[in-house]
Each structure stands twice: as structure tokens, then as C-alpha cells.
Structure 1
């Protein structure tokens, strides 16, 4: 495996953004004099986006009466508070430093809209370090389609076969494989209880960001 770049999914892979999602859900419930939602229940469905989190926080189904108003309120509250508690996962900053010291480049390909993704990257001081930030706004089709990864590779000037894409959702691995990238699935992210990253067909599966060091070392030694 020869590598020149590493691309990360954002939520549940590069960053632990769950605290801000949960805080928004709790604020919405508090505004309605409701008790706090089950935090784990919200975390379990983060990969499903705003719709899934609103359903979990308010025990609703998509399309139920009042659902759309709650979804729009969730997005507006999150837009204003998307970078309060979010932070890189434990070990991720060390990994990014290792990547940079190895003269590799790294970037982000996320299904999170750019209106949220850019402020978070800026707030955490990662914008200057990331070679690319690709969001659904930049392509016709989001993951699991390969469009985002192919555009990222084009912008970096690197062949997909020389890129490792790291994600915590099966859609990430599908997109990476379809683009022709190497893939790594992480088990520490926002994995639905009924899902299993080891069944997604990734080239490697890791339980902690720093486990990717061995993957990078192996790739660099084989170059």
C-alpha cells in the first residue's frame, strides 16, 4: 500500500462532534419543559443526520406532526452552536502531526454541509492544516457515491489509489472503494448498535486513531 494522502470523514472519525449535537437536543427539550433525552440514544443515530437525531430526541417518526419544524429548529440551533464542545478524538492530533511529519497531506470529506463544517474546522485550528475540505455542497452526489473523494483527489493532485480514506460509516467505505482509494474503518465513532465495521469490507479496521500509525508506517516503508 503506497500512500501520499489521508482523507478523513468528520463526524465520528476525525472529530467527536456528538457533544454539540446532544447539547442542541437537550436545549430543545428544555425549551419545551421536557426532561433530558437519552444521550446514548442520540449518539447512536448521529450518522443518520438531523432527521435521525430529532426522531431519537423526541421519539418521533419522520413526517410526524411537528417533525419538520423540529428539524429546522435543530439545524438553526446547531448552526449557532456547532463548535462549542466538539474536539478531535483522543490521539487524533498526534496522528495528524505524524502524517505531516511523514510529508503526507491530509484532508476531510464529509456529508456535513459546509455551513457547519467550515466553522468547526476553523474553530479547532484545523483549516490551515487540512489540504482540502469537501462537503455535499461541492458535488452532485454525497457519500456513498465517490464524487466527493474523486474531487478531493483531483484538488490534491493525487491518484485515488495513493489515498487512504478513513470513516466510521459503511457509506464511507463504499465511497472510498468506489473511488479507488484504500479504506480504513474505525470502531470508535458513531456506530449504530446493530452495525459492525468489520463487515464493511475495509482494507483495515482500527479501534483508536493512533492504530493508524502502523498503517502509515507500513505504507511508507513499502514506497
Structure 2
């Protein structure tokens, strides 16, 4: 970072908003219809950042369903998700206070997510969130880890990427942030796959809770003051 902090950008699922509860509920609803036992939330949460197809493949791994059948289940899953994507979804602990602190400091914030816009915008509306910029995969030609979305978000808020933060819970988030020239922060509370070592992502910072994240943001705000 070469100057004052100009903007803060977040990944959505697993970073800013805990959406695993709705994925978990719908997956177990579908499993019940196939006479399969429910899976624990901790197991399903680790799959969320890999996308719906991964969730369905893992969620029905013990069956002999073929690809066509799994795709049919995925279509059903997404239909149900669109109707109930905000039943359990909520900001992670400490995030409301962090967003309020950004607002009070007049620092714009935004979201760059691999979640399609038809799910992202209704979810944000339900949570009463109003980011200065929202970039979804169907709004860019290349998705993360490509930096296109991050560069576009910075341009939309009038910020120099080198003076921006990007915060995420997946290696592709950190890679995208580095490629955009942003300072990167990896959150340890996210939807991280078992065996995935967050330290190998080479983020500029790794945080375990929102208080630690807020402390880093505050220090970057004052470092160049």
C-alpha cells in the first residue's frame, strides 16, 4: 500500500456473510428425499466455496447416481436456494460493527464474489447491505483468481487498487488480490477445505476474527496519515 487506505473489498460467502446454513438445510432436505441421513453443518460448510456442483457431488457421493441425475438434483437445489437463500444467512460476528466503522470513516466497501448476481443481489437486499460496488461472475469476462472483477470494483469507487484491501476465505481470493495489486487478508473463519493450509496462500495478513480484521484496517487507515 503506497498511500492512505481508499477502499475495502470482500469476498461474500464465507468471508462477509455466513451462507452455509441455507446450503446445509437444502442439501439435507434433498438427501432426505433420497432416504439418506443428514450431514453435519461443519461438513457441508467446507464445500460451499467450491460451488453448487461440488456440493451436490459430495452430498450424494455414497449413491450411484450418474452425472445426468446429479445435474438434475443440482437444478432442483438451485431452484430451492433461490427461494430460501436468506433463511439462515447472516453477517459473520463482528462484521456489522466493522462495516459501520468503514461508513463512519467514509471508506467505501464492496464485494467481488463468484456467486451469480441472481442470488447475490436478493441476498444483499435481504440483509440490508448497500455496498458501493458489487461484482458477480456474470458481470465480468474472467472470474477470480483473475483480477478483472477487483480492478473493476476499484474503478467503480474511484480507488487506486494499490491502496485497497481484498479480504477472502479462499486461495483464489488471495491470488486475485495479489494480481490486482491490492493488500490481501485471508480469514480463518471461512469455508476452508480440510487439509487446506491457509498459510500457503501467502496473504499479506491472516485473521481469526473480525476484531483482528478491524484492527488491521484501522492501522492501515492511520499508517499514512
With normalisation by structure 2, the TM-score equals 0.93
Distance 2:127 2:41 in 1: 24
Residue 34 (structure 2) pairs with residue 52 (structure 1):
no
Distance 1:34 1:220 in 2: 51
Residue 92 (structure 2) pairs with residue 89 (structure 1):
yes
State the Cα deviation string for residues 120-150 of structure 1 (Å, max 9, x = none). 10000103xx101110011001100001101
Distance 2:72 2:29 in 1: 15
Q: Which moved more, 1:182-191 or 1:97-106?
A: 97-106
Distance 1:15 1:216 in 2: 18
Distance 2:127 2:142 in 1: 27
SS at match of 2:152: helix
Residue 82 (structure 2) pairs with residue 79 (structure 1):
yes
The two structures, once aligned, show a CA RMSD in angstroms of 1.6
Whether contact under 8 Å (1:188, 1:208) holds in the other structure is yes
Distance 2:64 2:52 in 1: 12
Distance 1:161 1:139 in 2: 21
With normalisation by structure 1, the TM-score equals 0.94
State the Cα deviation string for residues 149-202 of structure 1 (Å, max 9, x = none). 011011111110111000000000000110111100000010111112122111
Name the residue aligned to 1:41.
Answer: 43
Name structure 1 gaps, 5 residues minimum: none
Distance 2:35 2:86 in 1: 25
Distance 1:33 1:221 in 2: 57
The alpha carbon displacement at 1:220 in A equals: 1.6
Name the residue aligned to 2:10.
Answer: 8
Count of residue pairs the alignment pairs up = 221
1:161 to 1:5, Cα distance in 2 relative to 1, 3 A: same
1:201 to 1:219, Cα distance in 2 relative to 1, 3 A: same
Name structure 2 gaps, 5 residues minimum: none
Map 1:63-212 onto structure 2 (within 5 A). Answer: 64-127=67-130, 130-212=131-213
State the Cα deviation string for residues 66-121 of structure 1 (Å, max 9, x = none). 11111111111111111111000001101111111122111111000000000110
SS at match of 1:183: strand
Distance 1:147 1:187 in 2: 25
Whether contact under 8 Å (1:94, 1:210) holds in the other structure is no
